[in-house]
């Protein structure tokens, strides 16, 4: 990796979910969820656990599905990272068994509430980054992007799953979820963002299948200059940004952004300027 361990600061993180203007018009709730947390692993180093989920448009309880998916990911993947920060335990079988357990929880809840698991349909984007390793899980659309060795350049981990049509995707509540799940392992990275499909078309270049770096540079520059740590509440700045006219002019869908950096603005970020 480009930046050595010694240059790494602690994690700074921010997240927010904002309702889409189409949902405001119809009175539907925000069906997105997203959060991250930083915990202390058994090696004494920090581990970042982040997740985001987009509840399906016409599924009656998908906002509950999305919130449950985010919490279930953070709980189980966080525990695995804490016990073994090399993340050796987290393999495809671990992901499949997590999906099966999550589907059991959804099935029990559906039967208690007299509805079906598909009423809780939602996507899942999840990531764990320890001092040395990283894992990523994706079922459905939206994407996870990570910082590359080249400063201010970003690469996607998995391209949004849309199948052939723009209005189709996969959900973690479906029988085929484990089969279609993207699972990636890699070395630790220093910057990461997870986002739902509400902002997908604004920040991913579909013709070149690449990350549109200018869409992330000013936000990461701001994040690097914030106080270290992972707040327990959504970020006011990201909430204001995702709800701004700038964003709403380009999307009417719910949108979630979860981001974290352990690059600090100080050493070589003189040009970044937080502007605040």
Partner 1 sequence: MISADQIPFAPPEFVDNPEPRCPCLLLLDTSGSMQGRPIAELNDGLLTFHRELTSDPMATQRVEVAVMSFGPVTLVSDFRTPDQFTPPHLSAGGDTPMGEAIVEGLTLIENRKAAYKQGGVAYFRPWVFLITDGSPTDRWEEAARRVREGDSAERKAFSFFGVGVEGADMAKLSAICSPNRPPLKLKGLSFRELFSWLSSSLGGVARSQPGETVALPPPGWASV
Beta bridge partners, 50, equal 36, 127
Q: Is 205 in the site for partner 1 (CB under 8 A)?
A: yes
Nearest CA-CA partner of 14 in 242, 204, 172: 242
Cα(185)–Cα(127) distance, integer angstroms: 10
23 Cβ neighbours under 8 A, 6+ residues apart: 29, 30, 31, 253, 254
Q: Is the CB of 62 or the CB of 133 nearer to partner 1?
A: 62
Cα(144)–Cα(136) distance, integer angstroms: 8
Q: Is the CB of 22 or the CB of 107 nearer to partner 1?
A: 22
Write down the least CB distance from residue 156 to partner 1, Å: 13
Cβ atoms of 47 and 129 closer than 8 Å: yes
User: Footprint of partner 1 on residues 149-188 (CB under 8 A)?
Assistant: 162, 164-169, 171
Write down the least CB distance from residue 153 to partner 1, Å: 14
* 29 secondary structure, DSSP code: P
Interface with partner 1 (CB under 8 A), residue from 22, 39, 45, 158: 22
Interface with partner 1 (CB under 8 A), residue from 47, 48, 59, 81: 59
Q: Is the CB of 85 or the CB of 140 nearer to partner 1?
A: 140
Nearest CA-CA partner of 212 in 245, 181, 250, 262: 250
Cα(61)–Cα(76) distance, integer angstroms: 23
Interface with partner 1 (CB under 8 A), residue from 52, 137, 204, 258: 204
Q: Is 206 in the site for partner 1 (CB under 8 A)?
A: yes
Cα(183)–Cα(186) distance, integer angstroms: 10
Q: Is the CB of 112 or the CB of 245 nearer to partner 1?
A: 245
User: Footprint of partner 1 on residues 216-255 (CB under 8 A)?
Assistant: 216-219, 221-222, 236-237, 239-241, 243-246, 250, 252-253
Q: Is 86 in the site for partner 1 (CB under 8 A)?
A: no
3-state helix, strand, coil in the chain (%, to 5): 30, 25, 45
Q: Is 60 in the site for partner 1 (CB under 8 A)?
A: no
List of residues contacting partner 1 (CB under 8 A): 22, 54, 56-59, 62, 121, 123, 140-141, 162, 164-169, 171, 197, 201-209, 212, 214-219, 221-222, 236-237, 239-241, 243-246, 250, 252-253, 274-276
């Amino acid at each position: 990796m480009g930046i050595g361990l010694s240059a790494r600061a602690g994690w700074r993180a921010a997240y927010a979910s904002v309702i889409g203007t189409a949902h405001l018009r119809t009175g539907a709730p925000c069906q997105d969820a997203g959060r991250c947390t930083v915990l202390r692993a058994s090696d004494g180093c920090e581990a970042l656990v982040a997740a985001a989920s987009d509840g399906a448009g016409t599924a009656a309880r998908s906002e509950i599905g999305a919130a449950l998916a985010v919490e279930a990911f953070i709980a189980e993947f966080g525990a695995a990272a804490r016990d073994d920060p090399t993340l050796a335990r987290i393999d495809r079988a671990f992901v499949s068994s997590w999906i099966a357990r999550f589907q059991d929880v959804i099935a029990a809840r559906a039967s208690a509430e007299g509805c079906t698991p598909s009423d809780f349909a939602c996507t899942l984007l999840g990531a764990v980054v320890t001092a040395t390793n990283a894992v990523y899980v994706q079922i459905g659309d939206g994407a996870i992007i990570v910082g590359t060795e080249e400063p201010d350049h970003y690469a996607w981990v998995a391209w949004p799953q849309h199948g052939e049509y723009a209005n189709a995707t996969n959900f973690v509540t479906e029988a085929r979820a484990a089969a279609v799940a993207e699972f990636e392992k890699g070395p630790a990275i220093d910057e990461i963002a997870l986002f739902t499909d509400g902002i997908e078309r604004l920040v991913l270049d579909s013709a070149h299948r690449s990350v549109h770096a200018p869409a992330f540079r000013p936000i990461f520059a701001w994040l690097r200059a914030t106080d270290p740590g992972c707040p327990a509440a959504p970020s006011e700045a990201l909430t204001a940004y995702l709800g701004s006219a700038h964003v709403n002019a380009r999307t009417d869908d719910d949108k979630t952004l979860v981001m974290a950096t352990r690059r600090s603005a100080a050493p070589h970020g003189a040009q970044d300027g937080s502007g605040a």
